[in-house]
Amino acid sequence: MAMTYTWTNSAWNVQTMQLINNVNVSGTTLSGVVINVGWKLTGADTTTVTSSPSGLSGSFFGATPFSTGMIDLTAFTDYQDLTQDEVIGWVKEVVYANPPYQEHIYDQIQASINTQIQVLCTVNTGQFPWGS
C-alpha cells in the first residue's frame, strides 16, 4: 500500500502548546517559552481503488516536550511572533532524530487506515443473497 505523510499545513496541525516564563542563568526573563507542543500528523493512502485514490487517511496525535535548556537566546522567537512552520520544524526535528519513534507514528497511521479498509461494504436489507 502506498502511503504519503505530508508535513504541510493541510495534513499537519498544531493542537496545543504549553508555555512558561523562564529566567535564564544570566537573569533574563523570557516570556511565553514553549515547553510542549501537542500535534497531529495525517497520512493518506494513495493506493488506487477502481482507478482512483482510495481517499482513506489516518492520523496520529503526539506531544513533544522541549527543555528550557534547549533555548538558543540568539535565535529565541517571542511567542506572539511564532509561526506554525517554525513550531512544526521543531517537532519534525525531534521526530526525525528518532527513527523508531517516526516508524511508530507511521505504523499507527497505517493501522488506522487498515481498520477502514477491512470494512468492505455494508449490505442492507433487500440486498442479501437470499433476498429480503
Report pLDDT digits (tens) over 12-64.
Answer: 789 999 999 988 777 888 889 999 999 999 888 776 554 445 678 889 999 99
Q: Is residue 79 part of a domain?
A: yes
Give the chain's domain count.
1
Q: Is 129 within a domain? A: no
On whether residue 50 sits in a domain, the answer given is: yes
Q: Is residue 127 part of a domain?
A: no
The pTM for the full model equals 0.75
* Residue 33: partners with Cβ closer than 8 Å, 6 or more residues away: 19, 20, 21, 22, 68, 71, 79
**Cβ proximity of 78 and 84 under 8 Å:** no
Q: Decide if 126 is inside a domain.
A: no
Residue 65 confidence (pLDDT) above 70: yes
Domain that holds residue 97: 3-118
Which pLDDT belongs to residue 39? 95
Chain segment 82-110, per-residue pLDDT in tens: 999 899 999 999 999 999 999 999 999 98
The answer to whether position 111 is within a domain reads: yes
